[in-house]
Amino acid sequence: MKDMMKFKDYFGSVHYSDEDGVFHGKIEFIRALVSYEGTDVKGLRKAFHDAVDDYLVLCKEKGREPERSFKGSFNVRIPSSLHQAAMQKAARLGVSLNQFMQKALEREVTT
């Protein structure tokens, strides 16, 4: 992913404001808004790591499960004819639609 940092399975964006002279970002791919900033790259990276750690501590203190960036499930909206065709192909192969789609995605992202 372009312009991203990763720490403890969380991804953070990297932006720069020339007007303010600061780097800034937020934890991406979760609903909670967790932002951070730094005056240089090293400071931004530390602020990102601290933000992730603080988020995890806050969740623990509140008895909440921290959001994960990627849960392993998502909704895809496709035409009903494509849904039907995929289901029929999966049935012919003797696999579930989920297994069929997983294999199709694996082929696409590894080529």
pLDDT tens digits, one per residue of 31-87:
999 999 999 999 999 999 999 999 999 999 999 999 998 888 889 999 999 999 999
Can you say whether the dihedral through the CA atoms of 53, 58, 64, 69 is positive or negative?
negative
pLDDT over 90 (residue 101): yes
- What global pTM score does this model have? 0.77
pLDDT over 80 (residue 24): yes
CA distance 61 to 103: 39
CA distance 62 to 65: 9
Asked if 96 and 87 count as a contact pair (C-beta separation under 8 A), the reply is no
Pairing of strands 35-38, 22-28: antiparallel
Tokens describing residue 48: 């990102």
CA distance 41 to 44: 5
